[in-house]
Amino acid sequence: MIQNTPASFDGPIGVRMSDFSSEYMTHIEAHLDEDFTHVPERIMSLLRSTDDLIQGFQVSQLTHGLQTATMAEQDGADIDMIVGALCHDVGKIISNANHPAIAAEMIRPWVSDAVYWVVKVHQDFEGMHYYARMGMDPMARLKHIENPYYDLAEKFADEWDQNAFDPDFPTLSLEHFEPLVHEVFSRPPRRK
């Protein structure tokens, strides 16, 4: 493991990024590349932490994510969609209000564009099942009707996500999904 301290670099550093030497930037890039190797375990840790988030539901957010991913896997979804289903609500650790955007941006460098988009807009699709109670448009999903991933988002919301609150559902364990999490988040991240 690379020691993560400035002292491990023997040369001029500077105090502003614009002053960093090429050698120091190479040193930093090595640390950042090594840091990517920790992403899978950080995601696993974040997922574990969602077990403490109940929010009045019959199941924790971890169980909800596991059930959503279980349904996606049983329905033949690809690995990116299964992992996206598992991670789709991790943003609730920070904020329920904008959790889809938080979760989507966290997984974006490692998953397909389709999965990124589905996670990002899943609340608009899920809203069909509860937005009316909040005085919001339950058909908010229609603003996305022209998106090529619309059908996938509809399937995600209507067949998996909204059905994943059952304490008696035969849910696959986090350990079952761990190899998939490691496979997806061990990929080189996209930089776009």
Indicate the average pLDDT of the chain.
Answer: 93
Q: What angle do CA 54, 105, 31 make, to 5 degrees?
A: 110
Q: Would you mind telling me the total number of residues written for the chain in this entry?
A: 192
Q: Which of 126, 133, 114 is nearest to 158 (CA)?
A: 126
Across the range 181-191, mean pLDDT stands at: 95
Give me 86's structure tokens. 């598992």
pTM of the model: 0.90
Whether the predicted pLDDT of 79 surpasses 80: yes
Q: Give the number of other CB atoms < 10 A from CB of residue 184.
A: 23
pLDDT of 117 higher than 90: yes
Residue 164 has pLDDT above 50, yes or no: yes
d(CA 66, CA 52): 14
Pick the residue with more confidence: 1 or 132?
A: 132
Q: Could you tell me if 133 and 28 are in contact, meaning their C-beta atoms sit under 8 angstroms apart?
A: no
Helices 79-87 and 174-185, packing angle to 10 deg: 110
How is residue 64 written in tokens?
């909800």
**Contact residues for 110 (Cβ-Cβ < 8 A; gap 6+):** 39, 184, 185, 187, 189, 190
Q: What is the DSSP letter of 18?
A: G
Model confidence pLDDT, tens digit, residues 23-61: 888 888 888 888 899 999 999 999 999 999 999 999 999
pLDDT at 5: 52
Q: Which residue's structure tokens are 């696993």?
A: 44
Rounded Cα distance between 92 and 183, Å, is 24
- pLDDT tens-digit readout, 124-143: 999 999 999 999 999 999 99
pLDDT of residue 174: 98
**According to the model, what pLDDT value does residue 102 have?**
98
